[in-house]
């Protein structure tokens, strides 16, 4: 406590001092967790070095299942990355006041997870040393180039979108702490909090919030186009674009709920990440759950009703064949479990939404897997050998390492910057309550009798 | 400009697999064993695939169909390549630039005929087979995609020869190894754009059909139906 007394927050921050705690103090638990995560990452690095030396033969892939875990990871991580920017942008534009404490933790997920999406593609390359050929000899006719373009734009924009609302908080850190002052001074860009600076920042944030939505949607649409543009059975489907976007938002919200629950538990942020946030996000998750089910049902019913033999071969692989365990687990974890929990107000608690979210994330990983693998394992022409794909230790290690690296980077972020936006919370206290009262008033009919008017003004607080 | 293509007469084909072996020797395909076959990692640019022919036949008799790369006129693999490592040249041959391929395997998944192969490991030739390789065909490294090139190196050699003798390329001077090796004479190769070439006549015969024709890929390897 003596250390905190030295860098005691000024009266302005007294209420929100707990938000600076993770930055000012780092306990042994942090280092233990970081060491555990680093050892998983080290295993992943070793696994990749083996793959780099010996080739992709160390994976479980073969002809015709040319794509497996790495491409599944790619789709899954890019999907998770929709948590942040898209949800935060929508909540900002709608002026949802409950967003204030959760937007930052969401935006960080986007920026960090997208790196692992890109990383998964690089892990999948047979010749990663030649990856710059994509720029040197790039063909814009290839859906993979569309991915390269839109993911690059998305990463740039979501980083900017994370950074802009961080500036006033970085200035707080610069002014009120003794740690890493040069670092915060450089990043604060001379922020002093003048009204003009606030106005410029607000304009920039709202412009970014609007632009980032179509970019985010385009990203997951072109991810789906990688599959949908080929003529392979059960890939060549126009529904894939919106289906992937819905799945991405679905898994993104689930990831956000998990991250928020961890933050709340580890840093004691129960006052900021309240039950109401979990309740509201839980409702959003429920809506996306139905949207996901609608798309899934449409996709499978269309295939089944048309019953083209090549498509049905894949269909039955998923329903009753070798991928039936994956498929039915997906149905249970993506639909049955979350709907059961989230439909009931009594179970839509913090714990309830977290259980639903973990279940959704498992289900969505399986969903990506059974999109990628079964379509490849039954090619149109008969095959002399039946190849069953099962991932090896290399693929499992790299998946674990991606998760570990993501968690570690997220942890480090919380040690450098406040994970709950301090200035936005303060702004909420100081300005929004009055604004919201005004806004609600503006929805209601103007008082009709001029005589009664002054009375109403008097009675409002 | 010639448009190279092939017909395969399924009435004549005995499924002896001479074409498969000839291709492997000609194109420096690394030998693979049952373990690789189980994992789907063998190299057979010319592959015998089991297929359902027409008409009744006693149970247990499997028909085999030799399947090289079909050199589609509208190739799905070329469309999706992000780095132009696979292309269709002006003579209709779908080629692969091994030294540019990044190994993303998008072409392999896009090909509806599964006619593309990936080097999962560094290719190796065990000691009885480490004889000199065909110097006209480059040896691939691990991590790149490869496929049938219609023995494009043979076309280059034949054309060089003709140019040296200051004459045009004659019909039959350029033949892929599989066609050359077929003891039953089931495969005919030539210029599909020349109306009087043998391959062209066969390709327009009543028995001619294309694999997965409804996909619109326009293969230039054309099969002649059996049983007539």
Chain A's closest residue to B62, CA to CA, is A384
Residues near A323 by beta carbon (within 8 Å), at least 6 away in sequence: A317, A370, A373, A374
Minimal Cα–Cα distance from A155 to chain B, Å? Answer: 20
Kindly report, residue by residue over B98-150, the tens digit of the pLDDT.
999 999 999 999 999 999 999 999 998 887 777 778 889 999 999 999 999 99
B221 close contact with A: CB closer than 8 A? no
Minimal Cα–Cα distance from A134 to chain B, Å? Answer: 5
* pLDDT reported for residue A7: 45
B108 vs A66: CB contact, 8 Å cut-off? Answer: yes
* pLDDT reported for residue A454: 53
Q: How many CB atoms lie within 10 A of CB A308?
A: 11
* pLDDT reported for residue B52: 66
Q: Which of B32, B35, B40 to mutate to test the interface with A (most CBs of A within 10 A)?
A: B40
B109 close contact with A: CB closer than 8 A? yes
Q: Chain B partners of A138 at a C-beta cutoff of 8 Å?
A: 82-83
* pLDDT reported for residue B56: 55
Minimal Cα–Cα distance from A413 to chain B, Å? Answer: 32
* pLDDT reported for residue A432: 82
pLDDT averaged over consecutive 10-residue blocks of chain A (461 residues)? 44 73 85 95 96 93 92 93 85 87 90 92 93 92 92 92 91 84 86 89 92 91 93 91 93 93 88 89 94 94 91 91 93 94 90 94 94 89 77 95 94 91 85 84 77 52 50
Does pLDDT of B58 surpass 90? Answer: no
In chain B the domains, ranked by start, together with CATH numbers, are 4-224 (3.30.70.20)
A63 vs B102: CB contact, 8 Å cut-off? Answer: no
pTM: predicted TM-score of the whole model, two decimal places: 0.91
Q: How many CB atoms lie within 10 A of CB A123?
A: 27
Residues 151-210 of B with CB under 8 A from A: none
Minimal Cα–Cα distance from A45 to chain B, Å? Answer: 19
Minimal Cα–Cα distance from B189 to chain A, Å? Answer: 23
B82 vs A61: CB contact, 8 Å cut-off? Answer: no
B132 close contact with A: CB closer than 8 A? no
A125 vs B103: CB contact, 8 Å cut-off? Answer: yes
B84 close contact with A: CB closer than 8 A? yes
Kindly report, residue by residue over B195-206, the tens digit of the pLDDT.
888 999 999 999
Q: Chain A partners of B39 at a C-beta cutoff of 8 Å?
A: 60, 62, 387
In chain A the domains, ranked by start, together with CATH numbers, are 22-428 (1.20.1630.10)
């Amino acid at each position: 406590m003596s250390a905190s007394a030295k860098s005691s927050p000024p009266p302005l921050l007294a209420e929100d001092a707990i938000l600076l705690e993770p930055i000012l103090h780092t306990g042994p638990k942090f280092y233990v967790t970081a060491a555990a995560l680093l050892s998983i990452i080290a295993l992943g690095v070793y696994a990749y070095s083996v793959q780099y030396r010996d080739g992709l033969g160390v994976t479980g892939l073969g002809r015709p299942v040319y794509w497996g875990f790495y491409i599944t990871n790619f789709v899954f991580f890019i999907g998770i990355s929709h948590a942040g920017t898209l949800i935060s942008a929508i909540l900002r534009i709608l002026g949802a006041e409950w967003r204030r404490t959760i937007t930052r933790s969401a935006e960080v997920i986007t920026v960090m997870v997208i790196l692992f999406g890109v990383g998964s593609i690089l892990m999948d390359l047979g010749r990663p040393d030649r990856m710059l050929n994509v720029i040197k000899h790039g063909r814009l006719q290839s859906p993979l180039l569309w991915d390269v373009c839109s993911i690059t734009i998305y990463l740039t924009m979501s980083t900017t979108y994370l950074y802009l609302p961080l500036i006033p908080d970085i200035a707080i850190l610069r002014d009120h702490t003794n740690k890493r002052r040069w670092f915060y001074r450089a990043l604060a860009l001379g922020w002093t909090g003048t009204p003009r600076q606030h106005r410029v920042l607000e304009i920039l944030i709202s412009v970014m919030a609007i632009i980032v939505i179509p970019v985010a949607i385009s990203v997951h649409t072109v991810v789906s186009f990688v599959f949908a543009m080929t003529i392979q059975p059960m890939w060549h489907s126009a529904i894939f674009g919106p289906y992937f976007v819905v799945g991405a938002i679905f898994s993104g919200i689930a990831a956000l709920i998990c991250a928020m629950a961890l933050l709340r538990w580890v840093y004691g942020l129960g006052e900021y990440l309240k039950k109401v946030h979990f309740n509201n996000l839980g409702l959003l998750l429920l809506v996306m759950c139905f949207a996901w089910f609608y798309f899934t049902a449409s996709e499978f019913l269309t295939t089944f009703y048309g019953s083209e033999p090549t498509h049905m071969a894949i269909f039955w692989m998923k329903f009753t064949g070798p991928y039936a365990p994956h498929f039915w687990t997906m149905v249970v974890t993506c639909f049955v479990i979350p709907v059961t929990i989230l439909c009931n107000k009594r179970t839509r608690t913090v714990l309830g939404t977290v259980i639903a979210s973990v279940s959704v994330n498992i289900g969505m990983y399986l969903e990506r897997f059974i999109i990628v693998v079964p379509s490849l394992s039954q090619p149109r022409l008969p095959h002399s050998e039946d190849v069953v794909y099962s991932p090896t230790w290399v693929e499992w290690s790299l998946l674990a390492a991606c998760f570990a690296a993501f968690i570690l980077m997220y942890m480090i972020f919380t040690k450098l910057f406040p994970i709950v936006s301090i200035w936005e919370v303060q702004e909420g206290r100081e300005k929004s309550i009055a604004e919201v009262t005004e806004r609600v008033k503006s929805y209601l009919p103007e008082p009709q009798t001029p005589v009664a008017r002054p009375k109403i003004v008097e009675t409002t607080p | 400009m010639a448009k190279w293509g092939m017909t395969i007469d399924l009435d004549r084909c005995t499924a002896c697999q001479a074409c498969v072996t000839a291709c492997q020797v000609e194109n420096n395909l690394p030998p693979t064993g049952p373990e690789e076959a189980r994992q789907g990692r063998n190299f057979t640019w010319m592959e015998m695939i089991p297929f359902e022919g027409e008409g009744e036949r006693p149970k247990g008799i499997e028909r085999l169909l030799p399947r090289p790369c079909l050199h589609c006129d509208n190739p799905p693999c070329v469309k999706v390549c992000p780095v132009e490592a696979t292309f269709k040249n002006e003579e209709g041959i779908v080629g692969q630039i091994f030294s540019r391929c990044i190994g993303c395997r998008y072409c392999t998944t896009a090909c509806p005929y599964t006619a593309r192969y990936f080097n999962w490991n560094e290719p190796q030739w065990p000691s009885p087979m480490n004889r000199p390789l065909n110097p006209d065909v480059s040896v691939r490294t691990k991590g790149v995609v490869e496929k049938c090139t219609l023995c494009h190196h043979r076309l280059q050699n034949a054309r060089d020869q003709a140019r040296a003798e200051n004459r045009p390329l004659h019909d039959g001077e350029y033949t892929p190894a599989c066609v050359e090796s077929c003891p039953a004479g089931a495969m005919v190769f030539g210029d599909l754009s020349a109306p009087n070439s043998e391959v062209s006549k066969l390709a327009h015969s009543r028995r001619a059909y294309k694999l997965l024709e409804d996909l619109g890929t326009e293969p230039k390897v054309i099969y002649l139906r059996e049983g007539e």
